[in-house]
Structure 1
Amino acid sequence: MDINKLRTFLTIAQYGSFRAAAEKLFLSPRAVSKQMDQIENELGVKLFTRQKNNTSLTDMGQEFIVTATDLVNSYTNAYNRIQIENASNSRKVVIGFSSQNQSTIIQQTFREPLLQNPEIELELREESGRALVKMVREKQLHMAVTPAYDEVLDYGPKVGVRKLITGEMVVGVSRQNPVSKLESVNLEQLSELPVFYYNSYQSTYLQDVFYKKFNKIFPKKNIQRCSSIEQRDMLIALDRGVGFFPQPLVPAESMLNPMIKFLKIENDLNTYYASVLLYNKEVESPTVRKLIDQFE
């Protein structure tokens, strides 16, 4: 079975519609629909219930998520290991990142090292934060950039860490909200509002992080995942809720989101934030080692 069609199937399951999956994969909705027709014909079962304005997974489709995920992960893991081995004596460095914020940080912090070492070629791959740690540990990536919400960083004996940026979390509120007139705010004033966070993967990791980090001020059910950064920022700008942002990225966020005001948090809480570079300490590639050393 074609691995790309399986990836398309999982993207539909993740984002909830053929159209959303098409936008994510840069395909036409018709191409996505055709791929799903081919999978259903190959399997001899219906994976989707298709209606005019709604597409949902059948019971068989829900069960097939597990199989498709295993097949895609097995293929991806093998492919990544082969690519890393082939790149061990080349100029290529394969780096993973977990969100658009981390992509921005890569652009900011890698600019000077790459200017000094123009022979290095970066290849970027987006994965969930938890997957990145595992992939670095198992040498499926040369390195990864991911957020850290505590100063104590322990990813196991094989994984090395370099801090790229450090700062604190701030809260973003709509300029329609009266508290936007302030420069700082006690989170108790916002505790009845939803908290929106971005994660392209079906994961409650950040829900757990924010629930504990901000001392359970916000009910856990109010901490809600958005499948895109644009969706999160629009909901905040329209005063449907609030969000937490890394203070070092506020200048860039302010330019992108003029309807959001970023406020310092007054509560006596752990608002620590860092973006860290992870790498395998047993890395053999001289090119990778050279780049890692730029961040000492």
Structure 2
Amino acid sequence: METEQLLNFIDTAKAGSFQKVADKNFISQRTVSKQMERLEIELGVKLFYRSHNKIVLTDAGYIFVNMAQEIVNKLNLNIIELKKIASANNNRLRIGYPTAFDLNSIIKNILTYTSHNMPKLDITFSEESVGHLLSDLSQGYLDCAYITNYNIHNKFEKELEDCILEKNSINFAINKLNPLSNLKHLDISDLCNQKIIYWALDDSLKEQSYIQRIMDTNKSYNSFVRVQTLEQLQLSIALNEGIALYPNTVYKLLAFEDHIKTIPLFKNKVQQYYATHLVYRKENNQNGLKYYLKGINLHSHKNN
């Protein structure tokens, strides 16, 4: 059953003539007649009494006129709603961010955006591992993502564009009973043979990979323990169960301050940093992303 069939049926019921409907729509009378025959076959009922000069609706035909009009009206309303949704989607922005991420970077960007005279965005957020975020970006499930990069992702996938928003020091949280807590900074060698705790939603191991990469793994015998919440991380350190890679940007959330100290990490006397990247797919032409990148002055952060 097609919309054109229903519209022509309604017109035929009003006009009482296939020819008048054909003339109105610039089609042949035979086309209209065939459409009505096909409609009757699809419904399994006779809609018209046909004579040489006149067409009259059957009882079923009279009933179906109202039904057909309701179907067409509902379809038109649905089309209007779909157009509204499509228009709204043009201003949709799907933002992703990883666990152990300081949302201040996102908040700053959104406040910067809203401070300008830019279109209103329909923003949704997703919290995932870095691996999942990059995959969702490539597949078009996200428009952009804020990534915590511990110098593991030297280059993102070629279809992705990225820029560095800020850099922060890499710190370790250590129980004050641990002798390492007396140091002003940690050297890579200080991490050897330590139980290292890290905070991540899944086994993407970005923190573990970073530590193994910067250390001489032939000489170190570290054990790694993943926890899924900040509370678990802090409790483990407060109980002196190990040392933890602790994001500098969430330092203000540190609990058990009487028991925990944070110390910056150095390698070859050079302080170590991680970067916050904003990553998006180059071919994403959604208005929401275009507006957002323009509104947060992304060009001022561009690193390539």
What TM-score bracket applies, with the shorter chain setting the length?
A: 0.5 to 0.7
Aligned to 2:282: 281
With over 3 angstroms needed to count, the CA separation of the structure-2 counterparts of 1:210 and 1:266, relative to structure 1, is closer
With over 3 angstroms needed to count, the CA separation of the structure-2 counterparts of 1:98 and 1:135, relative to structure 1, is same
Aligned to 2:96: 96
Q: Is 1:173 the equivalent of 2:174?
A: yes
Aligned to 1:162: 163
Residue type of the alignment partner of 1:103: L
CA distance in 2, matches of 1:115, 1:157: 32
Residue type of the alignment partner of 2:92: K
Find the residue that maps to 1:289 and give its secondary structure: helix
For each residue in 1:160-214, what CA deviation from the matched residue of structure 2 results, as whole angstroms up to 9, or x when unmatched?
1021221331221112323323321334334332100111124444322321133
Residues paired across the two proteins, number: 209
Aligned to 1:252: 252
With over 3 angstroms needed to count, the CA separation of the structure-2 counterparts of 1:214 and 1:172, relative to structure 1, is farther
Find the residue that maps to 1:183 and give its secondary structure: coil
Aligned to 2:27: none
**Does 273-282 or 167-176 show the bigger shift?**
167-176
With over 3 angstroms needed to count, the CA separation of the structure-2 counterparts of 1:176 and 1:121, relative to structure 1, is farther
Contact 1:102 1:275 in 2 (8 A): no
Aligned to 1:231: 232
For each residue in 1:50-84, what CA deviation from the matched residue of structure 2 results, as whole angstroms up to 9, or x when unmatched?
xxxxxxxxxxxxxxxxxxxxxxxxxxxxxxxxxxx
Contact 2:95 2:126 in 1 (8 A): yes
CA distance in 2, matches of 1:95, 1:86: 19
Aligned to 2:148: 147
TM-score using structure 2 length: 0.60
Q: Is 1:219 the equivalent of 2:231?
A: no
Question: How many angstroms does 1:139 deviate by?
Answer: 1.1
For each residue in 1:120-143, what CA deviation from the matched residue of structure 2 results, as whole angstroms up to 9, or x when unmatched?
232001122111111111211111
Residue type of the alignment partner of 1:275: T
CA distance in 1, matches of 2:215, 2:271: 7
Question: How many angstroms does 1:230 deviate by?
Answer: 1.3
With over 3 angstroms needed to count, the CA separation of the structure-2 counterparts of 1:150 and 1:266, relative to structure 1, is closer
With over 3 angstroms needed to count, the CA separation of the structure-2 counterparts of 1:200 and 1:218, relative to structure 1, is farther
CA distance in 2, matches of 1:154, 1:292: 21
CA distance in 1, matches of 2:141, 2:293: 17
Within a 5 Å distance, the mapping from 1:1-296 to structure 2 comes to: 86=86, 89-116=89-116, 117=118, 119-150=120-151, 153-216=154-217, 218-220=220-222, 222-247=223-248, 249=249, 251-254=251-254, 256-258=255-257, 259-268=259-268, 271-293=272-294, 294=296, 295-296=298-299
Find the residue that maps to 1:279 and give its secondary structure: strand
For each residue in 1:257-277, what CA deviation from the matched residue of structure 2 results, as whole angstroms up to 9, or x when unmatched?
523211122431782301111
CA distance in 1, matches of 2:235, 2:170: 19
CA distance in 1, matches of 2:114, 2:239: 39
Find the residue that maps to 1:165 and give its secondary structure: strand
Contact 1:102 1:145 in 2 (8 A): no
With over 3 angstroms needed to count, the CA separation of the structure-2 counterparts of 1:154 and 1:267, relative to structure 1, is closer
Identity of aligned residues (%): 19
TM-score using structure 1 length: 0.62
Question: How many angstroms does 1:147 deviate by?
Answer: 1.1
Find the residue that maps to 1:110 and give its secondary structure: helix
Contact 1:176 1:238 in 2 (8 A): no
Question: How many angstroms does 1:108 deviate by?
Answer: 4.1
